[in-house]
Structure 1
Amino acid sequence: METTKNPLVEALIQERLAQKLTQGQLAEASGLSRRALNLIEGGGDCTLSTLQRLLDTLGLEPVARRTRRMTLDDVVQESEEELFDKPAAPGG
């Protein structure tokens, strides 16, 4: 069974690949073992300090932002769109 990875982990992996770094290279530059990085990229937990070391090594900055929560109206609209297989009219 395949699990969906945390978006933060996905972003770390994508940035590592974009910089053409192997797990071993990123781990060494971050002061981690390759096994530890492999576990993190596989969905395992890590401490905030470990996460910060990885982000620093990749030249990334963590950003916290508020997410939009769905309202009951949003859920009803989404259900109607799926049921009738058409987008809702603008404005509700």
Structure 2
Amino acid sequence: MTHVQDIRTALRISGTALDDEIQDTIDAAVLDLKTAGVDKGDVDALTGMAVRLYARWQFDYRGKGEEYHRAYESLKAVLSMCEEYRGGGGYE
């Protein structure tokens, strides 16, 4: 599960002033994955990467938000087609 500290590190943010916004972003990423049929939430390296990509997109990390958006959407599409992430078993 991705924590606020993980996203702070991914975004190279040292302070805690944005922690509430970061938590909201994590929650939004998990919900967005769920709307795509990824019912595993944020439980492993791939879903954790999706959350980090989502956060980098939302925070326009290094001015490359659109690149992160495309990467996130691609990973989300793959996860949504993978049976293991749609509740079909495996990776529990």
TM above 0.5: no
TM-score (norm 2): 0.31
TM-score (norm 1): 0.31
| Bigger-Rg structure (1/2) | 1
Higher RCO (CA-CA < 8 Å; seq separation 6+): 2
